[in-house]
Amino acid sequence: MSTDFTFSIIKPNAVRTGKTGPILAMINEAGFEIAAMRMIKMTYAQAESFYAVHKGKAFFEGLIEFMTSGPVFVMILKHENAVELYRKLMGATDPAKAEPGTIRKTFAVSVQMNAVHGSDSVENAIAEANFFFSGIERF
Ligand code: IDP
Ligand code: MG
C-alpha cells in the first residue's frame, strides 16, 4: 500500500447522533477512497495507547472516557497527499476556529467531541493504520 493514505476515526458523538453517513459523504465528495473501515468500541487500554502522546495533559482522561463511551468507525482513506488534505477537510481541533464547510465545523459539538480524528503526519498515519488494521483488511 502506498503512503498516500491517512487514518481516521469517526468519534462516538458523531456515530451516536447518526452523523456517520453524512461524514462519509463529505469524505467521498472530497475525493478520498475508503481503503478499510470497521466499527469498534475501544477499550480503555486501547484508547490510552492510541492517544499516548497526550498522556499527562489536562484533557487526557476526559478524552479517553469520551473515546471509549461508544462505538466508533476506524478507517484508512486513500488520496494523493492524504494526510494534509484530510486535516484540511476536518478543520481545526476547536470547532469554533474551524473553517466553514469542514467536517468539524459542521459536526463537532465541542473541542473534545469534535466528530473526527485524522493523522497529523505520514509516520503517524502508518502507525495508526497498523494499530487497527492488518494487511489483509486493506484494499
Ligand atoms: P487533533 O485531533 O486536531 O489532532 P490533538 O491536539 O491531537 O488534536 O488532540 C487530540 C484530541 O483531544 C482532539 O481531537 C480532541 O478530541 C481532544 N482535545 C484536544 N485538546 C483539547 C482540549 O483542550 N479540551 C478537550 N479536549 C481536547
Ligand atoms: Mg492529533
* Domains of the chain by start residue, with CATH: 5-137 (3.30.70.141)
**Atom 18 (ligand 1) nearest CA:** 112
**Atom 1 (ligand 1) nearest CA:** 93
pLDDT band of 138, cuts 50, 70, 90: confident
**Atom 15 (ligand 1) nearest CA:** 112
Q: What is the pLDDT of residue 74?
A: 98
136 C-alpha to center of ligand 1: Å? Answer: 31
E strands, 26-122, where?
33-40, 72-78, 116-118
C-beta of residue 96 within 8 angstroms of C-beta of residue 109 = no
Strand-pair partners of 74: 9, 38
C-beta of residue 60 within 8 angstroms of C-beta of residue 10 = no
Name the closest ligand to CA 91.
Answer: 1
Q: Which three cell numbers stand for residue 17?
A: 447522533
Q: What percent of the chain has pLDDT over 70?
A: 98
C-beta of residue 82 within 8 angstroms of C-beta of residue 6 = yes
The rounded distance, in Å, linking the Cα atoms of 53 and 71 is 22
Ligand 1 shell residues, CB under 6 Å: 54, 59, 63, 93, 111-112, 114, 117, 120
The rounded distance, in Å, linking the Cα atoms of 82 and 25 is 17
- 50-95 pLDDT per residue, tens: 999 999 999 999 999 999 999 999 999 999 999 999 999 999 999 9
Residues annotated as part of the active site: 117
E strands, 41-113, where?
72-78
